[in-house]
């Protein structure tokens, strides 16, 4: 979903649940201790060492409650910071790990990197897995960008939509070379419903942790 701002979200389960459990134990312990003191035998009062031990346990439980409150606040602050960071990506061009890219206005863009020069074979498939375009060529080592104008191998023009790319690379002596593929696009919205913010790029949802670079789109 697209957003125009950031709304706070309370962590579910985890620390909040633990805090409730500890609070319940704390109240139960306090009730038992008070009842014990009220009903102790005046002729045989509670042993001093035992009473001291119970006070220590009481203090320990109280400290756990405070620690959970602090941790809950810290988690919420971290989540809000991540959400703010994600929203700031709207309108920016991002590159992230992945093989999918959207064909729009006659252009789909992927990035890939090679550790050494190689002969590269590119295959593009549509969302149904049908092969629509192939291309081969010699590529130097380093970061490269592949832009497809939507023209299929048979000369027809592909419809706008999501397409995937697969790249195989080999050296001149036939040794396979790993090609790390990335997708590039402009962020149009942010999804904050999950445990980690996701950027909306076309029809894709990209996790913030998968983003490898951010830039201002060229006019």
The residue-averaged pLDDT of 90-110 equals 88
Least confident piece of the model among 77-81, 147-151, 159-163, 185-189 = 77-81
What is residue 134's predicted lDDT score, i.e. its pLDDT? 95
Higher pLDDT, 89 or 51: 89
Higher pLDDT, 200 or 192: 200
What is residue 78's predicted lDDT score, i.e. its pLDDT? 67
Higher pLDDT, 9 or 152: 152
Higher pLDDT, 19 or 92: 92
Q: Please give the structure tokens belonging to residue 85.
A: 């960071």
Domain positions in the chain: 14-87, 93-215
54 to 30, 35, 36, 39, 50: CA distances (angstroms): 10, 13, 11, 16, 6
Topology, domain 93-215:
Immunoglobulin-like (2.60.40)
The answer to whether the pTM exceeds 0.75 is no
What is residue 13's predicted lDDT score, i.e. its pLDDT? 47
Mean pLDDT for the chain?
78
Specify whether the CB–CB gap between 205 and 199 falls below 8 A: yes
Could you tell me which residues come within 8 angstroms of residue 176 by beta carbon, excluding any fewer than 6 positions away?
A: 168, 169, 170
Does the structure show a pLDDT above 90 at 28? no
How far apart are alpha carbons 22 and 68 in whole angstroms? Answer: 9
How far apart are alpha carbons 183 and 147 in whole angstroms? Answer: 11
Least confident piece of the model among 12-21, 55-64, 111-120, 133-142 = 12-21
- Residue matched to tokens 């999501």: 162
């Amino acid at each position: 979903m697209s957003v125009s701002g950031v709304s706070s979200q309370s962590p579910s389960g985890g620390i909040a649940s633990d805090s409730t459990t500890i609070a319940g134990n704390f109240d139960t312990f306090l009730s038992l201790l008070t009842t014990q003191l009220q009903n102790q035998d005046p002729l045989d009062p509670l042993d001093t060492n035992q009473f001291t031990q119970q006070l220590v346990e009481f203090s320990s439980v109280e400290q756990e409650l405070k620690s959970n409150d602090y941790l809950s606040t810290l988690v919420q602050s971290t989540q809000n910071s991540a959400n703010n960071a994600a929203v700031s990506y709207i309108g920016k061009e991002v590159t992230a790990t992945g093989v999918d890219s959207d064909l729009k206005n006659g252009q789909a863009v992927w990035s890939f990197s090679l550790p050494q020069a190689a002969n590269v074979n590119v295959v593009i498939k549509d969302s149904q897995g049908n092969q629509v375009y192939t291309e081969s060529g010699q590529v130097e080592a380093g970061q490269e960008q592949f832009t497809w104008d939507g023209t299929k191998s048979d000369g027809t023009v592909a419809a706008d939509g999501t397409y995937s790319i697969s790249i195989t690379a080999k050296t001149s002596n036939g040794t396979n070379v790993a090609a790390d593929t990335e997708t590039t696009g402009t962020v149009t919205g942010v999804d904050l419903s999950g445990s980690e913010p996701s950027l909306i790029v076309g029809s894709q949802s990209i996790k913030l942790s998968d983003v490898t670079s951010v830039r201002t789109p060229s006019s």
